[in-house]
Amino acid sequence: MDVVVVGSCMTDLISYVPRLPKPGETLHGERFAVGFGGKGANQCIVSSRLGAKTAMVAKVGNDTFGNNYIQNFRDNGVNIEHVSTTSEAATGVAPIAVSEDGQNAIVIVSGANLKLTETDVQRSEGLISSARVVVCQLEIKPDVTITALKLAKKHNVVTIFNPAPALPHLDPSFYVYSDFLCVNETEAEILTGIPVSCPNDSQKVISCLLERGCKAVIVTLGSQGSVFATHENPLIRHIQATSVTAVDSTGAGDAFIGALAFYLSTMPNLQLEDIIRRSGKIASASVELPGTQTSYQWQKDLPKELFH
């Protein structure tokens, strides 16, 4: 197995609006769509479409949204041996507003995602131990996420941790068990209390996060690209983003992380800088298309040079 993702499944309820509403304001939307989302599932689907052998460890409700989600994993070639259902909660949902300039605002109702237990993850130890990369986020219970990261490191599996939604007082062990910590500028500020508005602001944030025990830190900055540093080379390096016309930025961060997992698992001999640059190009391609998983392209539809 190349990539195992332990995380969330959400059904996206997307409203397209002229602009994001102000507090207390009602706006007329232009159209509505239902799609597949959730940070964990998004990242898994991206890795799978790029060509990685992927598996998901997750929980959905015993309902129409949940049944549809399991079929969606099948349609995308994802191993679902450890995707279980529960009657105790509905499948997670995410109402999303997307503005004409491609910005978004999202509310998540976790539902069945919070019913995924440490026992569920421990049952998947055989799967996790077979992986090259394990990816985790924070849309499931933090204790469940840390269990997955610990299991991965027990078996010397590379870990990617995306602490989103970010928590200001994160258990310090999360950093110790994270080979790659990947955050956007907002999440970086929540974790460290240090604002990041441009690449030059990132050194202090990244140094702070590296000191907490991660081996590498990547901060994504949207149209400004990304910055990264490692424990061995703590001076930040800035990678410019590809210039694109944004249609819908929903899920772009997940595209980046799914691509990162793909490259680390299937092309590990590439330089980290090259892996991050290629992952950024795949994320940039996703913002040119509407929707979340509908914006993720298959390997055959992307430039061949990204895969050599």
3-class state of residue 224 by DSSP: helix
Pure H helices in the chain: 39-50, 64-75, 118-123, 125-129, 142-154, 173-176, 185-192, 202-211, 252-266, 272-286
Name the active-site residue from 63, 120, 248, 254: 254
The phi and psi torsions of 175 (rounded to 5 degrees) equal -70, -40
Per the DSSP assignment, residues forming a β-bridge with 5 are: 56, 135
| SS3 (DSSP) at 94 | strand
Residues in CB range of 67: below 8 A, 6 or more apart = none
Continuous segment of H or E residues that includes residue 14: strand 10-16
Please say whether the beta carbons of 160 and 180 come within 8 A: yes
CB-count exposure of residue 103 (10 Å: 0-12, 13-18, 19+): middle
Residue whose pair of structure tokens reads 């930040």 in the numeric block: 236
Give the Cβ contact number of residue 133 at 10 Å: 27
Q: Indicate if 254 belongs to the active site.
A: yes
Cα–Cα distance between 115 and 214 in angstroms, integer? 28
Distances (CA, A) of 3 to 126, 135, 178: 13, 7, 15
Residues forming the active site: 254
